[in-house]
């Protein structure tokens, strides 16, 4: 059963330019834009640390399980993706997933997530 870890503070269907996925060694930063009270757009972000693997699936290829993570970060358990990683011994890893309207699904295997 997938546990909800965090909910996106703004609807992904209202993004103007987001989401953006920035990947660096052992870290993934997720950025999204949202409409501010004055009508302009601002950016916010969250971060995955201790990243072991990242996969983005375009919305046209997403499964029902992936779409169920619509605008929320879930911890996928059990996870075939996590189990398939060979070099991750000795780390406490989790499989996180979030789906963005008309963009797709981000799957990240990482040690932690910070909103």
pLDDT digits over 33-85, tens only? 998 889 899 999 999 999 999 999 999 999 999 999 999 999 999 999 999 98
Interior angle at CA 21, CA 18 and CA 22, nearest 5: 130
- Give the separation between CA 2 and CA 40, rounded to whole angstroms: 35
Q: What is the CA radius of gyration of the chain?
A: 14
- Cα–Cα distances in Å, from 68 out to 62, 64, 90? 10, 6, 30
Strands 104-110 and 112-114 turn out to be: unpaired
How many CB atoms lie under 10 A from the CB of residue 48?
25
- Give the separation between CA 97 and CA 66, rounded to whole angstroms: 7
How does the average pLDDT of the chain come out, rounded? 93
- The mean-pLDDT minimum among 22-31, 39-48, 62-71, 87-96 falls in 87-96
Say yes or no to pLDDT of 89 above 70.
no
């Amino acid at each position: 059963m997938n546990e909800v870890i965090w909910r996106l503070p703004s609807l992904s269907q209202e993004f103007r330019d987001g989401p953006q996925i920035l990947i660096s060694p052992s870290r993934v930063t997720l950025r999204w834009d949202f409409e501010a009270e004055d009508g302009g757009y601002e950016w916010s972000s969250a971060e995955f640390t201790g990243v072991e693997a990242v996969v983005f699936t375009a919305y046209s290829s997403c499964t029902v399980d992936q779409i169920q993570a619509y605008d929320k970060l879930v911890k996928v358990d059990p996870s075939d993706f996590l189990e398939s990683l060979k070099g991750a011994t000795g780390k406490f890893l989790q499989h996180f997933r979030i789906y963005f309207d008309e963009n797709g699904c981000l799957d990240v295997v990482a040690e932690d997530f910070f909103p």
